[in-house]
Structure 1
Amino acid sequence: MNLFLMYLPVFLLVFVRMSAFFVTAPFFSIRGVPNQFKIALAFIIAVISFQSLPIQGEIPMDLTFILYVMKEALVGVILGYICEMMFIAIQVAGGLMDMQMGLAMANVIDPKTGAYIPVTGNFKNILAVLYFFSIDGHHMLIRGVISSYQVIPVDIMWAAFGSENVMMTAVKTFQTMFTSAFMIAAPIVVALFLVDLSLGIIAKSVPQFNIFVVGLPIKLLAGFLLLIVVMPAFLLTLNGLFGNMFRALAEMMKSLGGSP
């Protein structure tokens, strides 16, 4: 009984970090996934992780335990959101493409957040999730959060949330997110800009040509054809995007753990 009471606070902290991670991590945070499944998965992985934790001291069940819980929740949320930002880059790219294709007003409901997102962004996001599963990315995410207990032990009261390394890692991840979004959207955006330029020249040369009636179908057709053409390049970009995601996750874990 004494052994159970001694390790119960540690297990609860492990469970808090794992649950917080699943709240913001890609795919696991989808609203369509039942909360019972998330809790059960977090509990099972917490049990597995608990067996290999580097615990050096006893964690008291007093008011200071609240600080431990807050720390674990923040660590889980930050690590999950760092990974989620790479999927947000795909939605940003879809918004840029829809704006050029004339589909900016045609939004659909995102099953992950319940918000309205661009059609192309939702389509590419679904492809990215399927590709993520095909390369066992969800397994690597789980292994990553399990390894975080080695870098950020649960028996320390606070993590280096306000350190310079954490801020620089967050800024670098934001930069990577927007850079990746522009890389994904650039081929279609540039090509459709050339289509707009051509239509403008035609409208200037032939005033009788009703550019507003003909221009939108031409841009839609060109946009869909370009989506098909650049699909192999999009999959190659996803490789780099997911690689950046796992590198950002590792860097953030080291930064939160206080490693230089």
Structure 2
Amino acid sequence: MSALSFSAEQINSYVGLIIWPLIRIAGAMSILPVLGGGEVPVRVRVGLAFILTIVVVPSLGPMPQVDPLSVDSIVISAQQLLIGVAMGLVVLIVFNAVTMAGETIAVTMGLGFAMLNDPQNGSQVPTVSQFYVIMATLLFLSLDGHHSIIMLINGSFTVLPIGQSLGEGALWLLVSWAAIIFKGALSIALPALTAMLTTNLVMGVITRAAPQLNLFSVGFPITMTVGFLSILLTLPTFQAAFESLLRMSQLTIVEFLRS
């Protein structure tokens, strides 16, 4: 029986069939919340990227006939990395909006000094932000957000096959999407901020009417209590706002690939 033999063209096609999809998927998994990011061990991210690559490869079309060691191959690899990182960044911005909303509420209710380590961003954030991030993570999983993201990554090879470059408006679309951090944070935190602003106005009127009242001994417990009640009562609005942000992020990813 003769040994198996492969030509140089076959080896190049096999290498491209595995490496380029893996680069795109690994780029998304490097910063994608819940499935990737700093809170997930590197081995788990790499293993998940390999598994998704194995699942995706049979459905892919023909790869560009390019030497893996050529300049064109490096350009294609950089494009796949950029596409994967961009898709993960779109979802990460949604979770950053949740973090910013929690920071705004925490500072308003006087808990800005209560900090915890955030493994996702590698920084310290208020405890209220961590609470909102945990709620967002549970909602993300309960709404099958992880399945939707995996399907989007799989569908990205159909919308934007390997070898095709991004359009001119793709980068600008990604930059414009970054503004959702402030819009999304405002949509999440606005009900609680309204209650806190009303409380501060009432405390200001009381202090003006009774100057002998110690504002620091009375106002701080009242502000904190109203803050916790506002968070509790506005959780349904948080769910609606987060679902809207997730839908917008998925539409942005599709528009980014088609641009």
Establish whether TM, by shorter chain, passes 0.5: yes
| 1:1-260 correspondence to structure 2 within 5 Å | 1-2=6-7, 3-55=10-62, 57-64=64-71, 65-156=73-164, 158-160=165-167, 163=168, 165-255=169-259
Looking at structure 2, the residues matched to 168 and 159 of structure 1 have their Cα atoms a distance apart, in angstroms, of 11
Query: Counterpart amino acid of 1:68?
Result: I
User: CA offset at residue 87 of structure 1?
Assistant: 0.8
The unaligned stretches of length 5 or more in structure 2 are: 1-5
Query: Is contact 1:100-1:192 (8 Å) kept?
Result: yes
User: CA offset at residue 117 of structure 1?
Assistant: 1.1
Looking at structure 1, the residues matched to 175 and 131 of structure 2 have their Cα atoms a distance apart, in angstroms, of 27
Deviations 1:3-48 (A, max 9, x none): 3442212310111111111011121233232211111110111111
Identity across aligned pairs (percent)? 27
Question: Secondary structure in 1 aligned to 2:166?
Answer: coil
User: CA offset at residue 244 of structure 1?
Assistant: 0.9
Looking at structure 1, the residues matched to 57 and 159 of structure 2 have their Cα atoms a distance apart, in angstroms, of 14
Aligned CA distance change for structure 1 residues 249 and 102 (closer, same or farther; 3 Å): same
Looking at structure 2, the residues matched to 78 and 57 of structure 1 have their Cα atoms a distance apart, in angstroms, of 22
Greater mean alpha carbon deviation, residues 69-78 or residues 5-14? 5-14
The unaligned stretches of length 5 or more in structure 1 are: 256-260
